[in-house]
Amino acid sequence: MRVRFRWIFIGCLLAIPYVGTQIYQNYRPSADWEQSAEGLTVHMKQDGVERVIGFDEYAVGVMAAILEPNSHEETLKVMAVVLRTYVRYSCRNGTMAESQWLGQPWLSAKERLAKGMDEEKLRRAVAETSGCEILYSGEPILPLFFYVSNGKTRNLSDVWGQTLDYLISVDSSWDKGSGDYMEKIFMSRKKILRALAEAEGTGLSLDQLSESMVQIVEKDAAGYVKQIQIGGQVYSGEAFRCLLNLPSACFDYKVKNDGIEFTCYGRGHGVGLSIYGANAMAEEGKDWKEIISWYFPGTGV
């Protein structure tokens, strides 16, 4: 028995270096972080593996996911600064940024290559804006962004109730030139009722989707739906568009016999920076600082 325990003990000792190596590989900062002068890190979990990566690597992966291969270099710089500010804002209480809470898509080097992204351009944009953050009263802002507006961005207060002086409606008429500016979506009555019932637990019936029972209660100054009423049930425009997976809360509708046709303008929540608008400004010759100042009024870098 002593011999058996002795071999078990020796086996455990031999296993320690292997287990330790696995833990180190999973949780150690990547080489990108070790070479980063900024010290910002993001905790990620990908394909079941948890690891800590430096901001540069995180930003390159996110930028590749949300931007197109032909995006202007100034747009890349804008997004590098926006993401750096977002991570810093998320870490303002001393906590490590978690990718799942940051909520941004991320592409690996292999995926970036497959999408046709220029790795050198991405990394140059991050490097050339190193240390730059968007500040308001000396503090990093909440730099919200989205894809395309209806021609104007929205006040934060019209979407989520709270007020931030730099998240106010500004003109973004460039967005009207986007291929994603307008989209018509038809949804059957049953699909609409199922989506609302699953999320809200409401007991709406087919006849409550008649023209007289569907009404936009209020739109904000930018033209987005703030409230819509269906069969006595009132939804915020943003909640409604998320429940039905509409591209935007800026929509008109037409009730038909078998469903509702929505005509939507823009893509995303509409608050903060329009990615399409930023790229259009860059194409006109505006630099990244001018673009940030336009979409986040009163801020500095």
Q: How many CB atoms lie within 10 A of CB 239?
A: 15
The rounded distance, in Å, linking the Cα atoms of 57 and 91 is: 17
The rounded distance, in Å, linking the Cα atoms of 190 and 208 is: 11
Please, what is the angle between helix 119-128 and helix 55-66, to 10°?
Answer: 120
Reported pTM? 0.83
Please, what is the angle between helix 119-128 and helix 73-90, to 10°?
Answer: 60
Radius of gyration of the chain (CA): 24
Cβ-based neighbours of 253, under 8 Å, separated by 6 or more: 214, 216, 260, 261, 262, 263
Q: pLDDT tens, 159-192? A: 999 999 999 999 999 999 999 999 999 999 888 8
Contact present, 236 and 282 (Cβ < 8 Å) = no
Report the SS3 class of residue 278: helix
Q: What is the pLDDT along the chain (301 residues), one digit of tens a residue?
A: 444 444 444 444 334 333 333 333 333 434 443 334 457 899 988 777 888 999 999 999 999 999 999 999 999 999 999 999 999 999 887 777 888 889 899 999 999 999 999 999 999 999 999 999 999 999 999 999 999 999 999 999 999 999 999 999 999 999 999 999 999 999 998 888 888 876 665 555 555 555 557 889 999 999 999 999 887 788 999 999 999 999 999 999 998 888 899 999 999 999 999 999 999 999 999 999 999 999 999 999 9
Structural domain boundaries in the chain: 41-160+270-295, 182-265
